[in-house]
Amino acid sequence: MSAGVLPAVGADREIAVFAREIRRRALRMTSRARSSHIGSAFSCADILAVLYGGLLRVRPQEPGWSGRDRFILSKGHAASALYAALSRRGFFPSEALEAYSGDGSIFCGHASSAVPGVDWSTGSLGHGLPVACGMALAAQLDHRDHRVVALLSDGELDEGSNWEAILFAGHHRLDRLTVIVDCNGLQSLAATEETLRLEPLAAKWQGFGWWVAECDGHDHASLRSVLETARHQSGKPSCILARTVKGRGVDFMENSVLWHYRSAQGAELDSAMTQLE
Amino acid sequence: MRKPFVETLENAAEQNPDIFLITGDLGFGVLEPFARRFPRQFLNAGIAEQSMTALAAGLAREGRVVFTYSIANFSALRPLEFVRNDICGHQANVKIVGLGGGFSYGALGFSHHATEDLAVMSALPGMTVIAPGDDYEARELTRLLAAHSGPAYLRLDCPSAPACARTEVALGRASQLRDGRDVTLVATGAILSECWTASELLSDRGIECRVLSMHTLAPIDRAAIRGAAEQTGGIITVEEHSSKGGLGTAAAEVIADEDLRPQSFLRLGIRNPAECVSGCQDFLRRRHGLDSASIAGRVENLLRTTGRARERAL
Ligand SMILES: [Mg+2]
């Protein structure tokens, strides 16, 4: 890893604070709303911290800036973490998050592009990557240098539409496209390997013509380094298999499908908040 | 109607570099001239309609005016949830082209019969649904769609229907091909030619029909339905489509919503689309009572029945 490629913003300590803030805000949101998917939000909190802590080129005061890097949260059920990251990055004040999942709120339980900074509405799995392919193709045709980043879950790879898009991006050498797979090894009911075996996953993406790297999806320096390398790939789309732990950050939530559904209340909420200090 | 569509789109693509045509690996003998002339505005997405639809939405988000192109069930129904979430949910500027309305591909079997596309597309939020009645309307409506903003579905019938009459074509406004007071025949799509022929047969028998091409099914022309209910002796809708959810249903909704009282109302469509029978388009139209002779017969029966009812009431 060369220090020279790291962005100026987002020193490791700052990113750690960013990630902790994402988790704390997402936890408050889902607990207040008694909504699901906090485990999924924690799983990708570090990835979002690295992206919004400096790596993505965005302008919080100008969310629709045409030169921005596009980001699609294909695992739209982790919207609480995305909204938290956007508020932390300055797209809107953190108080706005109190409306999350509330009556009449734009902060829907699945990612909504009505929220400033959200490029695409998601919620149904298998949509984010093919949409990102369209955006990356437009950038390629127009010789523009912004990137299109899509964050997918591992269970989401069961959806056939992803494999249509993986074939497409490889064929068209969409090198402005980066996919990050949040590989926490779990899906809705059970382990991914028990449900529909994905491994060897890196070999599958490579076989479709992608540049592939694996990293610890909670190690900020490693994530940053691999994302920077991906940014400079030419002639191939890039895929990062971020090995993560579902529920990461709160011991009783880690590696459990229960926290795909349950929201923390009372003593559980207190304990979780304490662990995230 | 494929040729008039592609030729018109070529003209649009020449004037507007944002026009972009994506095929789901179909269009042999039809799309090549477009592909050759506008290689940077053309893409074969492969036999992958879900990804084709989603990436069309992504391209539209970046400023393109995208047309996706395949056989109707493949471009509209196969990727339905992608149409709903990615195109309609984002009001993306994507026009879905569905080839082979109704029994255009009759002999190919049930998989290729487009008999629910209009109902399903009409149910989607913000979707403009178009079924041209003939090549002339196909040309005009393609031109208008290329300049229109937002989601649309364009149903094209495969064999070119014989042209009926010339009227000005406007999105959302039914074209009136002839006027008459005895009854109004409303058609959507190329079944218009059967209605036209039926109106000639009926005229020979002393029954004068108003004939409307309801080429824009959504949003439907409410004024045209109201006019037919108030000025003529009844409304007969004719569609090469399931009798559920298409033109007949849309007309009935207008009648109910606006408390109209047509003297008679009849919906002609396909009652049992899942019947697994092969046959050419003409054969299948006759089998489902959608040929000109059957339509004319139904009109005569209807007028006889409502006439008797009126006499009884007097
Ligand atoms: Mg997972």
Q: What residues does each domain of chain A span?
A: 13-275
Domain boundaries, chain B: 2-156, 175-313
Whether B82 sits inside 8 A of A127 (CB atoms) is yes
- Would you call A113 an interface residue with chain B, using a CB distance cutoff of 8 Å? yes
Write down the pLDDT at residue A6.
45
Write down the pLDDT at residue B159.
64
Contacts of A113 in chain B (CB under 8 A): 90
Mean pLDDT (whole number) for A44-61: 97
Give the fold, CATH level 3, of B2-156.
Rossmann fold (3.40.50)
Mean pLDDT (whole number) for A247-254: 97
Size of interface A-B (CB pairs under 8 A): 80
Write down the pLDDT at residue A106.
97
pLDDT surpassing 50 at residue A5: no
Write down the pLDDT at residue A247.
97
User: What CATH number should be reported for the domain whose range is A13-275?
Assistant: 3.40.50.970
Mean pLDDT (whole number) for A11-37: 95
The answer for residues whose C-beta is within 8 angstroms of residue B284's C-beta and 6 or more apart is B103, B106, B277
Going by C-alpha positions, the residue among B208, B217, B254 that lies closest to residue B238 is: B217
Which of B77-111 are b and which e, b meaning 16 or more Cβ less than 10 Å from the residue's Cβ? bbbeebbbbbbbbbebbbbbbbbbbbbbbbeeeee
A186 C-alpha to ligand 1 centroid (Å)? 4
User: In this structure, which amino acid lies at residue A36?
Assistant: S
- What sign has the CA pseudo-torsion A129, B19, A62, A221? positive
- The pLDDT confidence band at residue A272, using thresholds 50, 70 and 90, is very high
Q: In what order do the strands lie in the sheet with A238-243?
A: A70-73, A148-153, A177-183, A238-243, A211-216
The domain B175-313 is placed in CATH, from the list 3.30.70.260, 3.40.50.920, 3.40.640.10, 3.30.70.1110, at 3.40.50.920
- The number of residues making up chain B comes to 314
- Please answer whether residues B95 and B82 qualify as being in contact, where contact means their C-beta atoms are separated by less than 8 angstroms: no
Q: Which pTM value belongs to this model?
A: 0.95
Write down the pLDDT at residue A1.
35
Write down the pLDDT at residue A4.
39
Residues with CB under 5 A from ligand 1 (ion): A 153-155, 184, 186
ipTM score for this prediction: 0.93
- Would you call A208 an interface residue with chain B, using a CB distance cutoff of 8 Å? no
Mean pLDDT (whole number) for A182-197: 96
Whether B51 sits inside 8 A of A161 (CB atoms) is yes
A212 C-alpha to ligand 1 centroid (Å)? 19
pLDDT surpassing 50 at residue A3: no
- Would you call A102 an interface residue with chain B, using a CB distance cutoff of 8 Å? no
Whether B50 sits inside 8 A of A133 (CB atoms) is no
Instruction: Chunk chain B into consecutive blocks of 10 residues (it has 314) and report each block's average pLDDT, rounded to whole numbers.
Output: 96 98 96 97 98 98 98 98 98 97 92 96 98 95 98 88 76 96 97 96 96 98 98 97 97 98 97 88 95 97 82 66
- The pLDDT confidence band at residue A2, using thresholds 50, 70 and 90, is very low
* Region of residue A275 (left: phi > 0; alpha: psi -120 to 50; beta: else): alpha
